[in-house]
Chain A
Amino acid sequence: MEIVCVKSNYFLRSYIPRCPVRPLADCGGAVDFMKKKQVPQDSSTTYAGHRKIIYATDENDKYNGEESSGWNVEEFATLSAVNEFKNKAEDARQRVLANQVSALEYHMYAQRMDLPTLSQISGFFQWQIKRHFRPAVFNKLKPKILEKYSDALGMSPVEIKMPLSKFIENLNGNISED
């Protein structure tokens, strides 16, 4: 049985090489199930000791919710998203310390936001926020504007205004106290 995978494509026919066609395996009958023992138990660090439910079949092919402690594949994807924000925040931190940008850019990435997200949450246009990234503009921000950022980022205006090195010092101090 041969089934053509790619439908005649509308605009990019010459651009894309056609996808190689593989016959479709007969998948209707009893084949390989998602078995209870196939539920991944990789103890992902991203789960922080929690468990998620995945539906899988038991010995009698009956479906049940089974606990999973993580899956490496998912962990990789989650961590790459987390690390991207971390790297961007670190990059911003360097530039803040060199006085090229304001602390706002660091806080944005540290709170796992990007420019469109912060714009949506704070209600400012992206160009306004970019302007606020300039240290000279940032230092003169009115309390009202700071209030909006404080609400969006979930930190007090004082924390946002604080010199970044001091802010990070406080943060690390708090963590070691806990």
Chain B
Amino acid sequence: METSVKIELQHQHAAHCESGVMSTMLTHYGLPLSEPMVFGLSASIAFAYLPIIKIGGMPLIAYRMPPRHIIKGLQKQLKLKISFQTFREPLKGMQALDRTLAAQKLVGLQTSVYWLPYFPPDMRFHFNAHNLLVYGKQNNLYLVSDPVFEAPVIVEDKDLQKARFAKGALAAKGMMYHLDDVPSQIDLQIVIKKAIKANARTMTGAPLPYFGINGIRHLGKKIRRLHQKHGDKFIHKFLSHVVRMQEEIGTGGAGFRFIYASFLQEASEQLNGSALLVDASHLMTNIGDKWREFAMLSVKMCKGRTTMDSNALAVILNECADMEKKLWDMLKRF
């Protein structure tokens, strides 16, 4: 079947794939929300240290809510109508994609990073929850707007199929979604307040030591304990894993903190220049810088430029935790 569809789309270069996709999609359908706004309104900032889920033998460390949370959270907060579909058979998944495109609808896809040929080789890992937008098709080539790239790209159908139906952890099963309806009016003031409250709960309210602020302290404790138990070589491996989780995987811990700071700034403008939110935004920026300091010191120690001192790293992490505690206590009062 020869097809040629192209939807006029303003490509947007974003820091994170999921928030970027949602921001571009909503803007396209007449609800202009920036990426930080999307990220903040879905209450997506978090911290989790999950020793049960292993990546290359190392625990999963997440700096935001799990994949799909941005889409689902936004759907709930803004009462959007989004259709989700998954498929058992790849061929049917591709046909459904073609049909939706033919109906002039932008399609969001969940894909594996590893099988997307346009990704830089060093960044291709088996991570199955990368989001992108498809805005057209010409013969066997799909026109893809991947928000973490500067410009739109072209992907061959067989590569896209492989990426959509990659198996393993977080398997997408060809997940695709499109917007059916966007509310014409949103009371941002109410939604912002609700979202911030919800996020304060996830950061401070979890009863287990692995989540939120407790999770940050737990990571520091873990670093000291692993250093004592397994020595320098192991801890170097562990730290470079932590830093990779923080900085590379979907724009990293500090990156997310800066996005949230930007959200708080935008929110304060929406709420007639709320001074509390301005302060919170500043504090969040400092938190992001603290996380970067942690990453920098970790890598310095891994490279052997300074002596390995796990206590110093734990101190920084505890400072991160203290600052985040202060921030969320502040926002709870809001």
Is the A/B pair a real complex? yes
What is the bound-complex CA distance between A90 and B237, given in angstroms? Answer: 19
Minimum distance in angstroms from A141 CB to a CB of chain B: 19
Confirm or deny: A172 has a beta carbon within 8 angstroms of a beta carbon on chain B: no
Q: A50-B150, A154-B115 are in contact. Are A63 and B265 (CB under 8 A)?
A: yes
Minimum distance in angstroms from B44 CB to a CB of chain A: 14
Chain B residues touching A, range: 35 or more
Q: Are B115 and A54 in contact (CB under 8 A)?
A: no
Q: A52-B15, A54-B258, A55-B262 are in contact. Are A71 and B247 (CB under 8 A)?
A: yes
What is the bound-complex CA distance between A27 and B282, given in angstroms? Answer: 8
Contacts of A29 on B, CB cut-off 8 Å? 279, 282
Contacts of B169 on A, CB cut-off 8 Å? 117, 120
Interface string of B86-129 (1 = CB under 8 A from A): 00000000000000000000000000001100001111111000
Among A3, A76, A78, contact of B322 (Cβ-Cβ < 8 Å): A3
The stretch that binds A, out of B59-67, B134-142, B173-181, B283-291, is: B283-291
Confirm or deny: B54 has a beta carbon within 8 angstroms of a beta carbon on chain A: yes
What is the bound-complex CA distance between A81 and B57, given in angstroms? Answer: 12
Confirm or deny: B225 has a beta carbon within 8 angstroms of a beta carbon on chain A: yes
Interface of B with A (CB < 8 Å)? 13-15, 35-36, 54, 56-57, 114-115, 120-126, 148-150, 162, 166-169, 209, 214, 217, 220-221, 224-225, 228, 237, 240-241, 243-244, 247-248, 251-252, 255, 258-259, 261-262, 265-266, 279, 281-283, 285-286, 288-289, 292, 295-296, 299, 302-303, 311, 314-315, 318-319, 321-323, 326, 330
Q: Are B303 and A76 in contact (CB under 8 A)?
A: yes
The stretch that binds B, out of A17-25, A99-107, A130-138, is: A17-25
What are 13 A-B pairs at a CB distance below 8 A? Answer: A16-B221, A20-B311, A28-B326, A28-B330, A45-B122, A47-B123, A54-B251, A55-B261, A55-B262, A79-B122, A80-B237, A81-B244, A82-B122
| A-B pairs with lowest CB-CB distance, top 3 | A48-B120, A5-B318, A63-B262
Confirm or deny: A56 has a beta carbon within 8 angstroms of a beta carbon on chain B: yes
Output the nearest chain A residue to B126 by Cβ-Cβ distance. A117
Confirm or deny: A51 has a beta carbon within 8 angstroms of a beta carbon on chain B: yes
Interface string of A13-42 (1 = CB under 8 A from B): 001110110101001111111100000000
Among A74, A84, A152, contact of B167 (Cβ-Cβ < 8 Å): A152
Contacts of A171 on B, CB cut-off 8 Å? none
